[in-house]
Amino acid sequence: MRLRRRTPGEGPWPWLAAGCVSVSLLMVLALLLLLGTRGLGHFWPADIERVTLHDGQVFAGVAVREEASAPGQATSEERLYYTANRALDGATWRWVALEDIARRDRPEQLSVIEHGRWGTLIGYIDETASNEQRLVIHTQRGQRTDLPRTGIIEHYRPNAMSWVDKILAWGRGVWHFLSQGPRSANTEGGVWPAIFGTILMVLLMSVVVTPFGVLAAIYLNEIADQGRATRLVRIAVRNLAGVPSIVYGVFGLGVFVYGLGGTLDTLFYSDRLPSPTFGTGGLLWASLTLALLTLPVVIVATEEGLARIPDAQREGALALGATRIEMLRRVVLPMAVPAMLTGVILAIARAAGEVAPLLLVGVAKLAPQVPVDDTFPFLHLERKFMHLGYHILDVGFYSGDVEAAMPLLYATALLLVLVIVVLNLTAIFLRHHVKSRHGALPR
């Protein structure tokens, strides 16, 4: 009798597999950590330093980081200060060699003033000269300016703030980032229109793609003859999922924007021509394009769900006197709902992060008006919209102030991840709810 192990051991495979999982997990954690620290740290009200140089110059700014100087220069290390005051100085950043610094201190009176039109300013608020309408500020370098109070978003004195105050201010900063529109060519302010645009577009896309995909899957799996033609269509659908997204963008531009949109314009909006209404990129066309892009995903997922339903369930319904339509509607479809939602989850995950096709069919660098407002018809499908993914691209590549854009880049990326996670969790929660109501499929 030999029950001993045939092989000396399982070898390295379990460890290798576990290692791969660990590496993947670590990478995801590292990604989130990077986005989190770089993005969220931006909103922390850091202390402002008053820097006195050996040559007598004085300025105020927030220390950002230090770098070794380029070789060949006299100094060894330089520090980057964020000095704000673009409206006054024309520059927001200043590199200072460490050797040049004579003294650094943190006067409590130094304030950060965020103004809608003037951008961010650092200076001393002159309470005696200010009045109800105007706020007078003296900068460290001696400039004097007065701002209308109406444009001021916030002002605070980080050097005088306690930890609690700073945490509250950080929370306010994050909130402003989430709830306000962008300023200064997207390098300051918030991303609310982009969040709104992303979510609205994804929801519209889901509303379009779900019924289409589900009906197509039902036809393929339940109604069509399972012949060669059906098999061909099925293969074609699966392959459609692999077409590069930019190709869908081109298709959307040609068919939806120029074709459908152009026709709509000549039929209903001819009074506004030649300026296009629907004949240009917009929310509707972007949603339709992404719906087309994600259609295969929904079809495949739903079809797999339908195929998993035992024929005994179908026959059971028919044997009770149900017609085929009644059987589909009352037994098969309810059982396929979790699979459909899985398809929608996958579609959302794919669509929310797609940027390339949007470039062609309606995303805008700046569209502070969100596509929903209080004027009829409330939902403006023809409007261009902002999108978090495109916002990242824009801030990262087309912004004039890279230093200012970097933290926003990270924060926006984090936000995009969070938005997708929230959308997915919603759909997963829905699916779980449906599952627990109907019970799991028998194995």
Partner 1 sequence: MPVFDPETRRAPEAPAKESAITDIPAASSALEIEGLTLSYGEATALKGLTLRIPRQRVTAFIGPSGCGKSTLLRALNRLHDLNETVHRQGTIVLEGEEIHAPGIEVAELRRRVGMVFQAPNPFPMSIYENVAFGLRLQGGLKRRQRDEVIEWALSSAALWDEVKDRLHDSAWSLSGGQQQRLVIARTLAVQPEVLLLDEPASALDPISTLKIEELIRNLKSRLTLVLVTHNMQQAARVSDYTAYLHGGELVEYAPTDQLFTNPRLAQTENYITGRMT
Which residues sit at the interface with partner 1, rule CB under 8 A?
225, 310, 312-313, 315-323, 326, 330-331, 334-335, 438-442
Q: Nearest distance from residue 230's CB to partner 1, in Å?
A: 12
Rounded Cα gap, residues 128 and 135, in angstroms: 10
Looking at the Cβ atoms of 90 and 442, the one nearer to partner 1 is 442
Looking at the Cβ atoms of 147 and 331, the one nearer to partner 1 is 331
Looking at the Cβ atoms of 120 and 221, the one nearer to partner 1 is 221
Rounded Cα gap, residues 354 and 367, in angstroms: 19
Q: Nearest distance from residue 314's CB to partner 1, in Å?
A: 8
Report CA-CA distances (Å) from 114 to 43, 64, 80, 119: 13, 18, 21, 6
Rounded Cα gap, residues 141 and 320, in angstroms: 88
Looking at the Cβ atoms of 238 and 324, the one nearer to partner 1 is 324
Q: Nearest distance from residue 340's CB to partner 1, in Å?
A: 15
CB atoms within 10 A of CB 403: 14
Q: Nearest distance from residue 328's CB to partner 1, in Å?
A: 13
Looking at the Cβ atoms of 339 and 364, the one nearer to partner 1 is 339
Peptide bond into 368 cis (omega under 30): no
Rounded Cα gap, residues 82 and 91, in angstroms: 9
Q: Nearest distance from residue 318's CB to partner 1, in Å?
A: 6
Q: Nearest distance from residue 320's CB to partner 1, in Å?
A: 4
* Beta carbons of 220 and 330 less than 8 angstroms apart: no
Looking at the Cβ atoms of 88 and 332, the one nearer to partner 1 is 332
Q: Nearest distance from residue 388's CB to partner 1, in Å?
A: 39
Q: Is the dihedral of CA 359, 189, 353, 220 positive or negative?
A: negative
CB atoms within 10 A of CB 219: 14
Looking at the Cβ atoms of 151 and 310, the one nearer to partner 1 is 310
Q: Nearest distance from residue 319's CB to partner 1, in Å?
A: 4
* Nearest Cα to Cα of residue 289 among 385, 353, 229, 357: 357
Rounded Cα gap, residues 331 and 343, in angstroms: 19
Q: What angle do CA 167, 195, 246 make, to 5 degrees?
A: 135
Residues with Cβ within 8 Å of residue 145, at least 6 apart in sequence: 87, 88, 118, 121, 123, 136, 137, 139
Looking at the Cβ atoms of 112 and 331, the one nearer to partner 1 is 331
Looking at the Cβ atoms of 12 and 227, the one nearer to partner 1 is 227
Rounded Cα gap, residues 353 and 115, in angstroms: 32
Rounded Cα gap, residues 216 and 235, in angstroms: 14
Q: Nearest distance from residue 312's CB to partner 1, in Å?
A: 4
* Nearest Cα to Cα of residue 301 among 277, 336, 330: 336
Looking at the Cβ atoms of 181 and 305, the one nearer to partner 1 is 305
Q: Nearest distance from residue 437's CB to partner 1, in Å?
A: 9
Rounded Cα gap, residues 82 and 47, in angstroms: 11
Rounded Cα gap, residues 147 and 345, in angstroms: 49
* Beta strands at 101-105 and 77-82: parallel, antiparallel or unpaired: unpaired
